[in-house]
Amino acid sequence: MPTYSSGSTGIFFMNVDQSLRTAVKQAAEALFGQPLETIQLQPTNAEFEGSHTVVCFPLTKLSRKGPEETARLVGDYLVQHAGIVSKYNVVKGFLNLVLSDQVWVDVLRAIVANPHYGQLPDNGQEIMIEYSSPNTNKPLHLGHLRNNFLGWSVSEIYKNNGYTVRKVQIINDRGIHICKSMAAWKLYGDGETPQSSGMKGDHLVGKYYVLFESQFRKEIGELIDKRNAEQPFIEVMSIFFRENPTATNFVFDYEGDAPFVVERSNTSVQYVEWEALRKILVKTFDDISRLVQGKKKGASLMYEWLKPVLSEETIFTKAQDMLRKWEQKDPDTVALWQTMNGWVYDGFGATYARMGVDFDKLYYESDTYLLGRDEVLRGLEKGIFFKKEDGSVWVDLTADGLDQKVLLRSDGTSVYMTQDIGTAILRFRDFPKITGQVYTVGNEQEYHFKVLFLILGKLGYDWAKRCFHLSYGMVDLPTGKMKSREGTVVDADDLMQEMYEEAEKQTRELGKLEDMSGEEAKRLFNMIGLGALKFFLLKVDPKKRMLFDPQESIQLQGFTGPFVQYTHARIRSILRKADSMGLRVSAADLNSVIALEPAEREALQVLSIFETKVQEAAREYAPSIIANYAYDLAKEYNKFYQSVPILPETDANKLKFRIALSRSIADAIKRAMYMLGIDVPERM
RNA sequence: GGCCCGAUAGCUCAACUGGAUAGAGCAUCAGCCUUCUAAGCUGACGGUUCGGGGUUCGAGUCCCUGUCGGGUCACCA
């Protein structure tokens, strides 16, 4: 028999599911003489009476009876033998169970008795979660926001599942990207600093990165003009058509831009739209050599024609010089690198503080890439990797269905993969107790991490199989993909500020400020603005690509963070009044038999699955599960709030129940929202 | 081109991993403030779950196939 006892004030199954499963199992064994390995238990559809439904189709094999009869047999058994089930109904093969109200009151009592409801006990395990990990050449943008909110939230969800969590990031402080900003600053900066310009450090460095890009494009344009004057591009076209007698046209297209087309009949100079081609070349210059590696006919001719431009001195070659000097530890270069990175860290610090994310330890690429290189050399000695004639070191993953991958360049310098190897190893040395590592990185790097984990395994690290790439989809704008080159990125600082202002505007319009002090109001606007933003980004399954519509993200009604915040504030308002009336309810007060309203039962039912959802969210690495849950809970509470009076209730037992239910739901909402990094207000 | 991922209401997203008549929000329309905060609640409207096959008591979910998106295949990070 199930171990449920209705009068117990001690701990019993808060998860009614468990005791029902046990009961169904026993019913099947008693009725059909055979054990049942799995039981399909699901929430009952709203249109039928009951809270739990047993799917009885799988049982028909044991019972050798029709689904409906089988369901009735089990239902009768449960009503007679399991103390929890008061009645049932059968629809097709679905057995809908109705629990007695007493059970629900006991469920609430158990929740009230547990001050940590929603927080699972310590399980002794430790994991590391990496997120953020920006480059240091420009400010954070919308994509980083999804990353940071996700990583931080998954960390909190794991904490709530009883894990010790180490939040880390790797800062890509080294490489050609920061050298680009440095080169532009050195050429055109005129000693500008965050202090002298009043600009946030990361934005200032980003400004020079943008300046680098535009300057570089300008120089390339001029060089291409010069090249065309030496040898008109049309001559290449002539060669192309001579060498490809069957070709009717030459097409050069690039990522959805209008393609450059030359028709065979139009090969004379006056028909070649030089300006169109020039525009494409300037834009795609950095990618040309890669495009040429493809099989496109005529591309190599184009490349040959461009080659002299590649060797000209530009701002880009100056950046490359700086990278070389940096690796040789040239004092001036290292000093400039430190200064500019310092500006960026100050700026990032402010942004992180406003976002409300934090880290337990920071890793810097400049500290880990050498370890990675040593590790690769060790692998080379052991024959795990191999060296090509030009001196570059490679790993062969063809046996695993992947390709060959370069690990060290022919000049011995490190690539991205190299430093990731070093970083991973360093982290397991720093935190020997961690059982695994989670990398919060966009899904465009899935291949990279597949390769990384394979390499770590080959190097003999058994923890490699406990590394997990938390891969999330890109954030699109209504106008399409964000492209820094085209200036369509949404800046993180700007966005947070806009959300704040929108929250203020809407709050004032609704006249919600009343007697609030200036400070309290500011805190509220920040809570609402940031809450709306975080909820908007976290409510979608991380794996999926999502659309960021600014108009929709500032909505404060419906399936939004502020909706949940508002529900919390409403409950707190009631609880304040209850307190001032001297109404405090403890678990021991919830011992009377009362008849529940449907809305009470439904809200409590949602409240009762909180911990199941917390577990599920960790298993799936999905804050969206918590966001959806918080919304469901708030919605159920609002229905209850709307249909059942709380404080005016004259029956003392009902009043206590409603206050306890309200308080427990407020607490659960607060905890759930905290897992998303969202604070909830007392008033709004 | 190879590999990976996706396609659900006009729009943005759910659907407890194979279960009932596929659900929410936004938008549109109609109601509810002398009961505790109307940033709320209640209705209505809205679907060939991309097309076509298959597997079984049962498919949005699994398999095959086609179409359309996206990502990735760098001595970039």
Angle at A658 between CA A670 and CA A678, to 5 degrees: 10
A234 CA to B58 C1' in angstroms comes to 66
Q: How would residue A542 be classed by pLDDT, with cut points 50, 70 and 90?
A: very high
pLDDT band at A308 (very low <50, low <70, confident <90, very high): confident
A620/B11 CA-to-C1' distance in Å: 27
Task: Read off the DSSP letter of residue A443.
Answer: G
**Rounded distance between C-alpha atoms, residue A239 and residue A216, angstroms:** 30
Rounded CA–C1' distance between A608 and B35, in angstroms: 28
Q: What is the ipTM of this complex?
A: 0.96
pLDDT of residue A671: 98
Assess whether A41 (CB) lies less than 7 A from strand B.
no
Which CA distances in Å does A451 have to A309, A394, A412, A529, A647?
35, 12, 20, 40, 61
| Per-residue flag: A251 CB under 7 A of strand B | no
Interval A334-371: pLDDT, tens: 999 999 999 999 999 999 999 999 999 999 999 998 99
Residues 45-64 of A with CB under 7 A from strand B: 45, 47-48, 53, 55, 57-58
pTM: 0.93
Give me A392's structure tokens. 């570059």
Task: Please tell me whether any atom of strand B lies within 7 Å of the Cβ of A481.
Answer: yes
Give the residue with minimal CA–C1' separation from B24. A559
A549 contact to strand B (CB, 7 A limit): yes
Chain A window 175-204, residues with Cβ within 7 A of nucleic strand B:
175-177
Separation of CA A555 and C1' B26 in angstroms? 9
Q: Give start and end residues of each alpha helix (H) in A14-66.
A: 16-32, 60-63
* Protein residue minimizing CA–C1' distance to B1: A295
Question: How high is the pLDDT of residue A426?
Answer: 96
Å between CA of A43 and C1' of B23: 14
Beta carbons of A173 and A364 less than 8 angstroms apart: yes
What percent of chain A stands above pLDDT 90?
A: 65
- CA→C1' distance for A469 and B56 (Å): 36
Å between CA of A152 and C1' of B40: 31
Q: What pLDDT shows up at residue A156? A: 97
pLDDT at A268 exceeding the cut of 70: no
Rounded distance in angstroms from the CA atom of residue A516 to the C1' atom of nucleotide B23: 39
Least confident of A56-65, A262-271, A413-422, A567-576: A262-271
Is the C-beta atom of A392 closer than 7 angstroms to strand B? yes
Tell me the backbone φ, ψ of residue A604, rounded to 5 degrees.
-65, -35
- pLDDT at residue A271 greater than cutoff 90: no
Burial class for A155, CB neighbours closer than 10 Å (0-12, 13-18, 19+): buried
**Cβ of A310 near strand B (distance < 7 A):** no
Distance A298 CA to B65 C1' (A): 36
Distance CA(A314)–CA(A221), nearest Å, equals 11
Report if CB A169 to strand B is under 7 Å. Answer: no
Among protein residues, the one whose C-alpha sits closest to the C1' atom of B13 is A540
**What confidence tier does A14 reach under pLDDT thresholds 50, 70, 90?**
low
Q: What dihedral angle (degrees, nearest 10) is formed by the CA atoms of A150, A452, A448, A465?
A: -50
Task: Report the distance separating Cα A168 and Cα A448, nearest Å.
Answer: 19
Which nt has its C1' nearest the CA of A524?
B39
Kindly indicate the confidence band of residue A257, based on its pLDDT and cuts at 50, 70 and 90: low
Length of chain A: 684
Q: Which nucleotides of B are covered by protein (CB under 7 A)?
A: 4-6, 11-17, 19-21, 24-27, 35-42, 57-58, 70-77
Query: Under 8 Å CB-to-CB from A383, ≥6 apart: which residues?
Result: none
Continuous segment of H or E residues that includes residue A450: helix A446-458
Query: Is the model's pLDDT at A12 over the cut of 60?
Result: no
Distance A545 CA to B59 C1' (A): 25
Residue A491 C-alpha from the chain's centroid: 17
Cβ of A545 less than 7 A from strand B: yes
Per-residue flag: A651 CB under 7 A of strand B: no
DSSP states of A375-411 as a string? HHHHHHHTTSSEE-TTS-EEEE-GGGT--EEEEE-TT
> Is residue A295 classed as helix, strand or coil in its secondary structure?
coil
**Across residues A244-252, what is the average pLDDT?**
75
Query: Residue A232: what pLDDT?
Result: 86
**Distance B46 C1' – A559 CA (angstroms):** 19
Å separating the CA of residue A37 from the C1' of nucleotide B55: 24
Q: How far is the CA of A399 from the C1' of B63 (A)?
A: 26
Q: Which amino acid is at A114?
A: N
Closest nt to A658 (CA→C1')?
B36
Terminal alpha carbon distance of chain A: 49
C-beta within 7 A of nucleic chain B, residues 607-636 of A: 616, 620, 624-625, 628, 631, 635
In the prediction, which pLDDT does A7 show? 36
For A53-119, the three-class secondary structure string (H helix, E strand, C coil) is EEECHHHHHHHCCCHHHHHHHHHHHHHHHCCCEEEEEEECCEEEEEECHHHHHHHHHHHHHCCCCCC
Tell me the β-bridge partners of A52: A43, A97
CA–CA separation, A673 vs A670, rounded Å? Answer: 5
Mean of pLDDT values over A202-226? 92
CB A646 within 8 A of CB A575: no
Going by DSSP bridges, is the β-strand pair A126-130/A164-171 parallel, antiparallel, or unpaired?
parallel
Is nucleic acid strand B under 7 Å from A483's C-beta?
A: no
Q: Which residues contact A194 (CB under 8 A, 6 or more apart)?
A: A200, A201, A204, A343, A346, A347
Please tell me whether any atom of strand B lies within 7 Å of the Cβ of A605.
Answer: no
- Whether the CB-CB separation of A230 and A309 falls below 8 Å is answered with no
pLDDT at A273: 74
Which residue gives the smallest C-alpha to C1' distance to B16?
Answer: A42
pLDDT winner (highest mean) among A34-43, A64-73, A292-301:
A64-73
Query: What phi, psi does A623 have (nearest 5°)?
Result: -60, -25
Residue A5 pLDDT: 38
Burial of A310 from C-beta contacts in 10 A (0-12 / 13-18 / 19+): middle
Distance A669 CA to B40 C1' (A): 17
